Amino acid sequence: MSDSGSSVSVSLVEDFHGSIKLYSDGSVVRGDEPSFCLPPLSESYEQVLYKDIVFDLTHGLWARLYLPPPPPHSSPTTTTRLPVIFYTHGGGFCWFSPQSPDIHRFCIKWAADIGALIVSVHYRLAPEHRLPAAYHDSVSALQWLHSQSKTTGRGETADPWFDSHADFSKVFLMGESAGGNIAHRLGMWSGGQDWGGDMRIRGLILLYPYFGGEARTASETKDRQEIPLFTLEDSDLLWRLALPTGSNRDHHFCNPLAPHTGALDVWSLAGTLPPTVMVIGGRDILRDKQLEYCEFLKKCDKQIIEILEFEEEDHGFTLVKIEQPSSMKLIEYASHFIKSAA
C-alpha cells in the first residue's frame, strides 16, 4: 500500500498454523477452523433439539440452546423443569463458536446425558477483538439469561423453551479451556451481583481452564515422549493474539493470581464463588497453573473447590474423547453435582 507516494510494507506478525494470520497493519486472515474430525454421535442423540437466538444485535452475538428429550416413561402431559448450563467454549479466545462441529457435538451429548438445558454462548474472537471483549460479551449473555428468568411464567417475552422447561433456580456456569477462563471470571463477577428474580447460580464446572503466567511451571517445561495436543508454543502464541496489545502473560486476564486492583479482583471476590469443580488433565501443560488456582481457592474457603484430575488425559480431552471412559466418568460426576446442588 502507499501513502502520499511512500510505500508501507505489511509484514506477517503472527501465524497460528495457517488458521490465523495477523499482519503488521492489524489485518487478520483466517483459514480453515481446526477440527478433530470425530465420528457423529449415535442416533439416540438426534432427539436433542437445538436452535439459535440472537441476544445482542449491535455486536452480532447469539447463543445456541439445546433441549434434551423428556425422560423415558415420563407423562406427555407433565413438563419437567431442567437445570440450565451456561456454557462458554474454548479455542484460546481465537477460534470456534457454538456452531463449530466439535462444540456442537459436545453440547448435544451433555444435554442428553445430564438432562439439562444448555445455553452455548457466542462471543467475539481475538485478535480482531482482543480481551476483554469475550468477557464483556459473556457478561451480556448472562444478563440476557437473567432477563429471560424474570419473564418466565409471566406471559411476557421469555423464549418458549425457557418458559416451559428451565429451572432458573439451578443455573451452572461451565466452560472448557478459554471458556473455563471465562467461566471463572463470570463466577467471580456474578458472585457480587444481586440478581433478583428467580435466577440462582449454583455452581461452576471449570474444564481445564486456560491460565498462564510469565514464570514457567514444571508441567509446562516437562520433557514428553509424545507431542501434547496443546503445546507451550501454541499457548504463548494464542496469548499474544488475545491479550491487550503490549501486555505479557502476567496480565490478570491470563494469570488470575497476579496482583490486580481493578473491579474484578480474585483476592477479594474468591469467597463469593459458588461450589466449584475443577477438571484437570494430568498430561495437560496447564495442569500446574490450574492447581495453583485451586490452592488459592482452598485458602479462601476449603469447601468451595473440588478437584477432579484424570491423570492420563491431555488438554481438550472432553472434546476429543467425548465417548471414552474418562469423559463418561466426568459426565456422571457432573450430573450428580448438578442434581445435588442446594
23 burial level (CB within 10 Å; 0-12, 13-18, 19+): middle
> Is 315 marked active-site?
yes
3 state SS of 91: coil
Q: How far apart are CA 86 and CA 180, in angstroms?
A: 11
**What per-residue string of b and e applies to 259-272 under the rule 16 or more CB within 10 Å gives b?**
ebeeebebeebbeb
> Is 4 marked active-site?
no
Point out the catalytic residue in the list 284, 288, 314, 327: 284
Q: How far apart are CA 55 and CA 7, in angstroms?
A: 43
Q: How far apart are CA 93 and CA 235, in angstroms?
A: 11
326 burial level (CB within 10 Å; 0-12, 13-18, 19+): middle
Point out the catalytic residue in the list 177, 190, 235, 327: 177
Give the three cell numbers for residue 115. Answer: 438432562
Q: How far apart are CA 225 and CA 67, in angstroms?
A: 42
Point out the catalytic residue in the list 184, 219, 315, 327: 315
> Is 137 marked active-site?
no
Q: Tell me the catalytic residues.
A: 177, 284, 315
